[in-house]
Amino acid sequence: MKDKMTRWFRYTAEDVKAAQAELDELADQGWELAELGIFTATFRWAERPRRCWVEPARWTSIRRKDEQARSDYLALCDEAGWDLLDEAGGMFYFQAKPDTDPAPIQTDGSLEWEEVLKKSLWNQAYTFFCLVVYWIAWAAGRFFLDQPRVWEMFFSNGAMLAQLFLLAWIALELFLGFRVVRYRKKCRRAAEAGKPIPVPRRGAARFRGAMPLVSTVLVIILLLSILGAFSSERSNHEVNGRLTAERSVLGESVEYREFSEKGDLWIESYDCKASWLAGIVCGDLRAIEGDENRLHRYFHYHGTVELTEADLGYDKAWIYAWDGGNGLIIRQGNRVIHMEAEKLDLTDRTVVEEQLVWLEQAACTLT
């Protein structure tokens, strides 16, 4: 039989009772805790394994008052027969001194709740919610302030994947925060009823302990998705202007910008595979023309304009003009087209169709 064993062992402070239960179970089987790693623990076989006691670490600040209280508490535990083996994951890991069988450090569930778990669980929940709420508030604030063209991400598989995993990450963090609040209520009720502190399920507790790894994987996926979004964009600088195209499962976007003596020209084409997406794109493109801040952000070289619905033979068409140029927004089925030109008459359907045919041919040449 092996005299040493290494296994996954990482718990967070809210799952201290799950850690305690696993250590007690292994001690009953003849294994005593030898060493704690970042995500694993090493156990050694012993005829009389020394028991462990685990509890959330208290007095973690560097204030002199807290340091003194911490020192006094550890000295008290030492006198009671407990050595501090390690401090990891926000928890104290005590181990019985050799050839001793000391009483548990906390024997009164109500006192343990009031003195140890109550504050620790609150701190855990507070940390979860502060991070997530700040994150959500910042993102929402930026959205309402900047009003970005969020729908652009639907034309990039990488951008959609990044957003999906970002939302999954936020949802997971919120779930963990709510779980701490729920468990805290259970502990309070158990203490008030004089019952033992409830023990979390080991599988769920191990998952929560693995959150740093899960978060790392999500960050890597997010970065790869963002890089994939950039790499999937096809560009061509050999034409008179800059031509870019991108395709996703929801549609294809093509954009062409030309600044030359022939007159500036800008064409955006969004071929959507869903009518709801075409409606969002069309509505936002029209809204931008009436918002001065957004116009400058997306490099429109004119002020706000008033759109006029026009009958040009398309399902829907809106025209507008300014000193030195004119613009056109078209919706034909699930395709939305936005054009601005200085020296082209965009109210002439023949002129518009010539530009669109050229755009499609040029987009086909991109690799």
Rounded to two decimals, the pTM is 0.70
Where the chain has pLDDT below 70, the residues are 1, 60-62, 131-132, 134-135, 138-146, 228-239, 367
Instruction: List C-alpha distances in Å: 293 to 115, 145, 300, 326, 363.
Output: 55, 10, 10, 19, 30
Residue 92 φ/ψ region, left for φ over 0, alpha for ψ in the -120 to 50 degree band, beta for the rest: beta
3-state secondary structure the chain: CCCEEEEECCCCHHHHHHHHHHHHHHHHCCEEEEEECCCEEEEEECCCCCCEEEEECCCCCCCHHHHHHHHHHHHHHHHCCEEEEEEECCEEEEEECCCCCCCCCCCCHHHHHHHHHHHHHHHHHHHHHHHHHHHHHHHHHHHHHHCCCHHHHHHCHHHHHHHHHHHHHHHHHHHHHHHHHHHHHHHHHHHHCCCCCCCCCHHHHHHHHCHHHHHHHHHHHHHHHHHHHHHCCEEECCCCCEEEEEEECCEEEEEEEECCCCCCEEEEEEEECCHHHHHHHHHHHHHHCCCHHHHHHCCCCCCCCCCEECCCCCCEEEEEEECCEEEEEEEECCEEEEEEECCCCCCCHHHHHHHHHHHHHHHHCCC
Beta strands 265-272 and 308-309, pairing class: unpaired
**Residues 56-99: pLDDT tens digits?**
887 766 677 778 888 888 999 999 999 999 988 888 999 999 98
pLDDT tens by residue, 119-137:
778 777 777 777 667 667 7
pLDDT tens-digit series, residues 242-252: 888 888 999 99
pLDDT of the residue at 195: 87
Chain mean position to CA 41: 29
Beta strands 251-258 and 325-332 are unpaired
